Amino acid sequence: MDGIHDLGGKPGYGVVDQTSKAHPFEAPWEGRVFAMLNLVARAGAYRNTDEFRHAIERIAEGHYFDHGYFGRWLSAMELLLLESGLVSSNELNDLPLRPSVDDGDSPSTARAAQAKPADHEGQAATLSAMKDQDLIQSEPITTPKYRINQSIRTISHALPGHTRLPEFGRDREGTIVDCHGLWTFPDASAHQLDPAQQFLYTVRLTPFANDEGIIHLDLFEAYLEAN
């Protein structure tokens, strides 16, 4: 799924602030949002981190930056609570948009209504695309398809829905540096699909230009083709 969340390699967003902070939360409400995450999962709103990440990806672009890091967590949790049926839209909309004045500034419009709704057609498209690409196996995968030092090319497209293949890493030549064994395939688990696990590789991308530097990405076998 392409969206505002996929910022890797895109210009115009300034330098990443790497200043260490004495406290992980800038306001008390952020700490409560952090604590809520496991409670929402235990309540059954989502099953895994990939589902949660996909909910963040569906936040409306106009609010993605305005809400900040924990504001995006809050919007994602609201969306998942709605989609799971644990909370109704009326119950959610009856909640105050801001906490007390002493609690710091929370997202003033952090409501799941501002997120893109559940895309059940997209989930069906994901399943169909995975079947077309033989990503759903009748037998468990036991042998990696690629070997260390083998030349590969990343696929030029992403599956519908959640993916861990960033846009800047698509349709790129590279070399297999390492193989990390079998891991859960996020593109499937984000949509509660359960295909066989995928082998995960570290890939060194071939630079576009001399000044690009060396980029390594951890990529699943489904993202790769023999070059």
CATH code for position 206: 2.30.30.50
Tell me if 199 is assigned to some domain. yes
Tokens 């990939």 label which residue? 50
What pLDDT sits at residue 22? 78
Structural domain boundaries, residue 87: 28-118
Last residue of a domain, one of 118, 145, 175: 118
* Inter-residue contact 89 to 114 (CB < 8 Å): no
Say if residue 96 is in the same domain as residue 148: no
Q: Report the CATH number that the domain containing residue 51 is assigned in CATH.
A: 1.10.472.20
State both tokens at 140. Answer: 């468990």
Say if residue 144 is in the same domain as residue 75: no
Is the pTM of the predicted complex or chain greater than 0.85? no
Facing residues of 152 across strands? 174, 226
Tell me if 172 is assigned to some domain. yes
What pLDDT sits at residue 85? 92
Tokens 């419009």 label which residue? 109
Q: What is the phi/psi pair of residue 139, to 5°? A: -120, 145
State both tokens at 26. Answer: 């800038």
* Inter-residue contact 141 to 182 (CB < 8 Å): yes
Residue 190 burial (CB < 10 Å; 0-12/13-18/19+)? buried
124 HSE (CA, 13 A, CB side): 3
Tell me if 6 is assigned to some domain. no
Using alpha carbons, list the distances in angstroms from residue 5 to 56, 69, 164: 8, 11, 12
CB contact set of 99 (below 8 Å; sequence gap of 6+): 29, 106
What pLDDT sits at residue 138? 57
Q: CA-CA distance, 152 to 156, in Å (whole number)? A: 12
Angle (nearest 5°) at CA 185 between 128 and 111: 80
Facing residues of 200 across strands? 220
Q: What is the phi/psi pair of residue 215, to 5°? A: -120, 125
* Inter-residue contact 185 to 165 (CB < 8 Å): no
Say if residue 95 is in the same domain as residue 167: no
Say if residue 168 is in the same domain as residue 97: no
Say if residue 144 is in the same domain as residue 218: yes
What pLDDT sits at residue 110? 45
Say if residue 213 is in the same domain as residue 147: yes
Q: What is the pLDDT along the chain (227 residues), one digit of tens a residue?
A: 567 777 776 777 777 777 877 788 888 999 999 999 999 999 999 999 999 999 998 888 777 888 888 999 998 999 999 999 999 888 888 876 544 434 555 554 445 444 454 555 556 666 666 666 666 555 667 899 999 999 999 998 876 788 889 988 999 999 999 999 999 989 888 888 776 689 999 999 998 766 668 899 999 998 999 98
Tell me if 35 is assigned to some domain. yes
What pLDDT sits at residue 35? 93
Using alpha carbons, list the distances in angstroms from residue 3 to 108, 132, 166, 176: 22, 24, 10, 28
Number of structural domains, the chain? 2
Say if residue 95 is in the same domain as residue 44: yes
* Inter-residue contact 198 to 183 (CB < 8 Å): yes
Say if residue 89 is in the same domain as residue 164: no
Say if residue 160 is in the same domain as residue 205: yes
Say if residue 140 is in the same domain as residue 92: no
Tell me if 18 is assigned to some domain. no
Last residue of a domain, one of 90, 118, 146: 118
